[in-house]
Amino acid sequence: MARAVVTLPARAKRGEIVEIKTLAQHPMETGFRRTQTGELIPRDIIRRFTCTYNGVEVYRADLHPAIAANPLIAFTTIATETGTLTFQWVGDNGYTVTEIAPIRVE
Amino acid sequence: MSFSAGVRFLLLAAACFISAKALTAEIPLGERRSGYELMARETRAIQDDDATNPGMLWVLDGEALWNKKAGAADRSCADCHGDARESMKAVAARYPAFDTARGRPVNLEQRINGCRTGRQKAAPLTYESKDLLALSAYVARQSHGLPIRVTIDERTRPFLAAGKETFHRRQGQLNLSCALCHDDNWGKHLAGSVIPQAHPTGYPLYRLEWQGLGSLGRRLRNCLTGMRAQAPELGSDEFVDLELYLMWRAREMKIETPAVRP
């Protein structure tokens, strides 16, 4: 079960700066740790996070092994028009999670 | 004995008396502090906002499990208990609670597993498994902001006493007791970390050190390992008694589940 939570205001004024908070459930296993018997635990991380607003990319982040589990990514964008924001997390072992959130601009 | 030596002896005796007294002192009710108040501003901010609190991921998983049918009885938690927001309100705040079938107090995890085996006819969930943490986080979340009220009566009193004895008993290679740190030296530092008063107000909670959610049992095992003592098994009678004592010690403090700790 891969879960992600996105929080943003449901409505905003045109031109307003809105804050978006995203939380993705992921262990972010670094690939540097070993088990008690000395075997290397394979790397399992999110590689890239993108946010598109009505199809236009407004935010992108590359993630690396030093980032904590269940990464919280918060950023802002300018409310330009009513539509949808699409959030995507892509990572190792075929991990892909997509969340869609509507925004109403007045 | 000269006059000055006599004074010195008296002062020494007085100092010994004061320190001996301090060693057995419980924290006065008005001076109790949740671990939350000892945290950095940034860590408090993570806990305060559901949009940033990673513990909420487990709460959401727990909600899904609450409504999922399981076991030979093909029943979900919701089939019997309905909407958890109503039926589970303030429930976690009164656990560990006395279970007549077992004749002793059980903690929330044991109660959930009791339901699983008894009502759902399903296999019990393993302690510290993702599913048990999620379900207990979801149930405990329904007590968020409500005061801790365990029932202390004729039936539970002996177990409370046993838990109190464990809390004050020196153990392990370092010869420490829980009380030595959490009653007598809270607020000071152990290496880089502040020693909290050990009030279990937010379990299961998200520890940044764990990079995940964990139960009170896990926390107790952490402490005991640090003391170089033999840690009991999760869900053992000794742990549940200690949990009962800790919840009684934190009586009337507010539940913070899912809390965030450093």
User: What's B81's domain CATH number?
Assistant: 1.10.760.10
Residue with tokens 């031109």: A15
Are B206 and B250 found together in one domain?
Answer: yes
Across the interface, whether the CB atoms of A28 and B211 are under 8 A apart is answered yes
Domain limit, last residue, from B110, B141, B172? B141
Q: Is B2 a member of any domain?
A: no
Which range among A79-88, B11-20, B31-40, B198-207 shows the weakest confidence by mean pLDDT? B11-20
Are B45 and B66 found together in one domain?
Answer: no
ipTM entry? 0.92
Q: Give the predicted TM-score (pTM) of the model.
A: 0.90
Q: Is B171 exposed, middle or buried (0-12, 13-18, 19+ CB in 10 A)?
A: middle
Per-residue pLDDT tens over the stretch B21-57? 445 578 999 999 999 999 999 999 999 999 999 999 9
Tell me how many domains chain B contains: 2
Average pLDDT, chain B: 92
CATH class, domain A4-105, is mainly beta
Closest CA to A53 of A35, A27, A18, A79: A79
From chain B, the residues in CB contact with A7 under 8 A are 50-51
For B126, residues 6+ apart whose C-beta sits below 8 A from its C-beta are B132
Please give the DSSP secondary-structure letter assigned to residue B106.
Answer: E
Contact A73, A49 (CB under 8 A): yes
Contact B146, B94 (CB under 8 A): no
- Give the B window 20-79 contacts with A, CB below 8 Å: 46, 49-52, 54, 56-57, 60-61, 64
Per-residue pLDDT tens over the stretch A30-87? 999 999 999 999 999 999 999 999 999 999 999 999 999 999 999 999 999 999 999 9
Are B45 and B171 found together in one domain?
Answer: yes
Closest CA to B253 of B81, B27, B58, B77: B27
Are B130 and B204 found together in one domain?
Answer: no
* Mean pLDDT, residues B224-243 taken together: 96
**Domain assignment of residue B108, given as a range:** 55-141
CA distance A2 to chain B (A): 10
Question: Domain ranges in chain A?
Answer: 4-105
Q: What is the pLDDT of residue B15?
A: 45
Q: What is the pLDDT of residue B20?
A: 45
Domain limit, last residue, from B93, B112, B141? B141
User: Out of A5, A69, A74, whose CB is closest to B212?
Assistant: A69
Assess whether B77 carries a catalytic annotation: no
